[in-house]
Amino acid sequence: MTRTDTTLTVEQRRSWDERGFFRVAGFAPRATCDAMLARVTDVVRDPALAEELGVKVVAESNKAGDPIAADRPEDGVSKVFKLHRDPVFADFAHSAPVVDTVAELIGPDIDVFLSQFIFKTPGAWGQPWHQDSFYFPFEPARPVVGVWLAVTEATLTNGCLHVLPASHDEPVHTHVPDRRPGANYGYFEIVDHDMATSEPVLMEPGDLLVFDSHLMHCSTDNESDGIRAAMVYHYAAAGTVDHTEEYFPTINDWVPARRDGRPVPPQPRSA
């Protein structure tokens, strides 16, 4: 389902160390991306299925006043969280190419603790500049690794990611609530740092961005007439202590992903 060469290249390692991220072109086949989009669409169209899976569906605030067709509720959805126990998403999250790559950056035993499908339909807001570790009050605090799979192409027009190379060396900055009135759930932004040297990350379906949780990144609004979808997972070391509940209701769900040098097979939600 995915590429099988997981040892980091010299260039990937250098980019990770010096810039805080690397991109893997053609990591997953188009069929994997299409299966994810089809499955998450089924989930948001079926509230009973969404409840059974225990996912969290978040509305797109910038389309709050728009008419959304009853048979296309996904047009009004921003993100769907907690998908990583569903087989379509778990198969990817636990696959050897993914967990072996992430293990090179964290250590041999890792858990996947967060997943989100981002619809980014036409008119949807981008996510302002932030560091993912702002959301992760963990012990140890790092390393935490995000993997961002392009489900569709990501372009300057449809709201690709932008990253600030080398910002993974920054501490976690103060984040203020997204200043747009009625901003999307969970959107906070960094306003005390110069982002002038940022770079867009243009992606084709199946490309993967692997990034450090201190890397400053954002995405722009979708100004195109097509969807810009992505599936994002986060991983940390097994045994990490998660203090999120002490600050806000958690959407984290810790699942062993790799032990003893091997992927841990996906576990059903009731396990």
Chain residue at closest Cβ approach to ligand AKG: 219
**Smallest distance from ligand AKG to CB 247, Å:** 18
Nearest approach in angstroms of CB 149 to ligand AKG is: 10
Phi, psi (deg, nearest 5) at residue 81: -100, 165
d(CA 217, CA 28): 23
Minimum CB separation of residue 127 from ligand AKG in Å reads: 4
Q: Which ranges of the chain would DSSP assign to H, the alpha helix?
A: 10-19, 30-45, 47-53, 87-93, 96-106
Shortest distance (Å) from residue 129 CB to ligand AKG: 9
- Cβ proximity to ligand AKG: between 126 and 206 the closer is 126
Cis, peptide link before residue 140, omega less than 30° from 0: yes
Q: Which is nearer to ligand AKG, 134 or 254 (CB)?
A: 134
Closest to ligand AKG by CB, 12 vs 213, is: 213
Type of residue found at 186: G
Which residue ranges make up the site for ligand AKG (CB under 6 A)? Answer: 118, 120, 126-127, 132, 159, 161, 217, 219, 230, 232
Task: Tokens 């048979």: give the residue.
Answer: 71
Tokens matching residue 227: 């969807």
Smallest distance from ligand AKG to CB 245, Å = 20
Counting beta carbons within 10 angstroms of the beta carbon of residue 21, is it exposed (0 to 12), middle (13 to 18) or buried (19 or more)? buried
151 vs 264, beta carbon nearer ligand AKG: 151
